Amino acid sequence: MTLAIETIDLRKTFAKTHAVDGISLQVARGAVYGLLGPNGAGKTTTIRMLATLLRPDGGKALVFGQDVVAKAAQVRNRISLTGQFASVDEDLTGMENLVLIARLLGFSWRDARQRATTLLEAFDLAGAAVRQVRHFSGGMRRRLDIAASLVRAADLLFLDEPTTGLDPRSRNQVWDIVRAIAGQGTTVLLTTQYLEEADRLADRLGVIDHGRLIAEGTSRELKQSLGGRTLHVRLADPSRAEEARSLLQAALGGVHAGHEPGLLLAKVNDDERVPAALSALAGSGLAFTEFALAQPSLDEVFFALTGRSAEAKGEEEAA
Amino acid sequence: MNQAFERALSSGPAPAAPGGWSAAVTLAWRAMLKIKHVPFQLFDVTVFPIMMTLMFTYLFGGALAGSTGAYLQYLLPGIVVQTMVFLTVYTGVGINTDIDKGLFDRFRSLPIWQPAPIVGALLGDLARYALAALVVLTVGFILGFRPEGGIVGVVLAVALMLVFASAMSWPWIIVGMLVRSPESVMTTSFLFLFPLTFVSNIFVNPDTMPGWMQTVVSVNPVSHLASASRGLMHGNVDAGDVIWVLLASLVVTAVFAPLAMRMYYRER
């Protein structure tokens, strides 16, 4: 089966910046693929090339097997784009915005109005149908924006930073929407700066930095590439940390102190050895108030890959 | 998610993509909606010419033409021209806003005739120009403007202005794609449009101007448009002026339209 997206050594240079510097990517049909990276990493440029808005300088990009340059018209027939900013007309009402897109897609006036009504209801915007978009909240605007991308069922939906700038409630709504869209079998390519978002929505992730794909895989694979999980133990009596440390060191190896007194972190390469380590602590009368076996967060993954925190980098560049 | 949502997602078969003309008309409809929702924009650009009409007519009219009534007959067709020429900037402002808000990206990613967003904007703007002309003409009529060429003359004059205005829109479309904000489109335009409309025969007969300025005025297409409009509205048109305007429109379009389309396809 042909892939939904395939890029081979894709490149784009603006002036002297290599915005996209040789990205090779494969996205299976029906998948939710997350492109993760800080601001300016090349996520938007990649999406714009795939959506036929930018011409690649080098390499190749295929959408459902069709070249985005040579077969741009065919590609546009299969895709739908939700850009980085809610790209709806602020002067128009919610209804008018959707009718506009439906008309452009070839719906008759009657069908366009009907389709718009259905979408407004589904996206919880029926009450705002006749209100100008400029009076919408950020979350409403984003929902309308996504609704506009769904006027016609597309096979591939691009979502460029769908939740940037949204409050937590709106973010959750958008997440539900994305899951429902994916549940219908639509392939989704989304970009995000938020590690949590990528973790929750995407089946596979690509980590982009300076226009290059620096890591790729499922969220689990990326985390495992860091080498297993970490046992967190919080001692009831912090003064006995040294004693506990040597016991854990003997049972698991690779122990280091956490950033709070009494908190110990031990690297776990084999989960089965965890119970024995905990019994050893208990057997010596070392009580602990909590313990957890945690996967490294995506933030730790990003840090391990680039030596910087993803979110801090984003703010730095945005400033 | 709820059932309404599931239902909304399974939209059934999509209709066939519309023709280029249909897409452009839809986008022109969008421009009409903007006039409906933001009528102030129209008011904004007609207030200035109406103010000019009142000031020039009642302050200088008597001195310039013997009586305010006589001056109004001379001035008003030119004021309509000025209104429309100033309005052409809004085409560039609109394009700039659409690019800035990402609407152009959305339109361009749709399976539509690719020039439709530009052509649609232009079509919509023609309606806006005509509406503004109607507003200024109505005020003129109330003040005592009586076109001897009758309604046909007025309609023909407005039609000629629309031809020129659509040509003048192209350079603004280019500016709209080049500069960063709608405000800079406006600022750029004033530097250009004030001399273009004032150094013309819209306000006064150029006979009393210094020779070099008379030369400038006589090659300014706006002068010819004002003369042609005056002629058509009062039923004594000089065909030379009309031809001049049509030629100027043709040249401006031939130079700037392909350039604008090239820039539109060029990526941002």
Please state, in angstroms and as integers, the Cα–Cα distance from residue A305 to each residue in A222, A231, A298, following that order: 10, 22, 10
- What residues form DSSP beta bridges with A158? A81, A189
* Digit-coded pLDDT (tens) for A74-107: 999 899 999 887 789 999 999 999 999 999 999 9
The span from the CA of B37 to the CA of B31, in Å, is 10
* Digit-coded pLDDT (tens) for B70-98: 999 999 999 999 999 988 998 898 889 88
Domain residue limits, chain A: 5-91+132-223, 229-294
Confidence of residue A313 (pLDDT cuts 50, 70, 90): very low
Which residue of B37, B105, B108 is in closest CB contact with A132?
A: B37
For B145-168, give one letter per residue: b (16+ CB within 10 A) or e: bebebeeebbebbbebbbbbbbbb
DSSP-assigned letters across all residues of B79-109: HHHHHHHHHHHHHHHHHHHHHHTTHHHHHHH
Q: Indicate whether B111 pLDDT > 60.
A: yes
The span from the CA of A249 to the CA of A256, in Å, is 9
Q: Is B217 exposed, middle or buried (0-12, 13-18, 19+ CB in 10 A)?
A: buried
Nearest alpha carbon to residue B124 among B52, B65, B41: B41
> What pLDDT sits at residue B136?
92
Residues of A in contact with B6 (CB under 8 A): 180, 184
Residues of A in contact with B18 (CB under 8 A): 103-106
Query: In the predicted model, what is the mean pLDDT of chain B?
Result: 88
Dihedral (CA of B164, B170, B171, B175) sign: positive
> What pLDDT sits at residue A314?
42
Shortest Cα distance, chain B CAs vs residue A179, angstroms: 9
Contact A149, A115 (CB under 8 A): no
This model of the complex carries an ipTM of: 0.84
Which residue of A53, A152, A180 is in closest CB contact with B11?
A: A152
Inter-chain contacts counted by CB atoms under 8 A, chains A and B: 126
Contact B248, B167 (CB under 8 A): yes
Nearest alpha carbon to residue B203 among B55, B75, B46: B75
A 10 A CB-CB count for B11 gives: 17
Residue range A5-91+132-223 forms a domain whose CATH class is alpha beta
A83 with B37: Cβ contact below 8 A: no
> What pLDDT sits at residue B268?
52
Q: In terms of DSSP H, where are the helices of chain A?
A: 43-50, 72-78, 94-104, 109-122, 138-149, 168-183, 195-201, 219-224, 241-251, 274-283, 298-306, 310-318
B15 with A179: Cβ contact below 8 A: no
Q: In terms of DSSP H, where are the helices of B116-220?
A: 116-143, 150-178, 182-198, 211-219
Q: How far, in whole angstroms, is CA A248 from its chain's centroid?
A: 36
A96 with B33: Cβ contact below 8 A: yes
What pairing do the DSSP bridges indicate for beta strands A32-36 and A58-63? unpaired
Stretch (H or E) spanning B250? helix B239-265
A180 with B267: Cβ contact below 8 A: no
Q: Indicate whether A165 pLDDT > 90.
A: no
Taking residues B225-239, what's their average pLDDT? 93
Residue that the structure tokens 């036929």 belong to: A52
Taking residues B51-76, what's their average pLDDT? 89
> What pLDDT sits at residue A318?
37
Q: What topology does CATH give the domain A229-294?
A: Alpha-Beta Plaits (3.30.70)
> What pLDDT sits at residue B204?
85
A 10 A CB-CB count for B246 gives: 16
Query: In the predicted model, what is the mean pLDDT of chain A?
Result: 86
* Digit-coded pLDDT (tens) for A222-269: 877 766 678 888 888 888 888 888 888 888 877 877 777 888 888 787
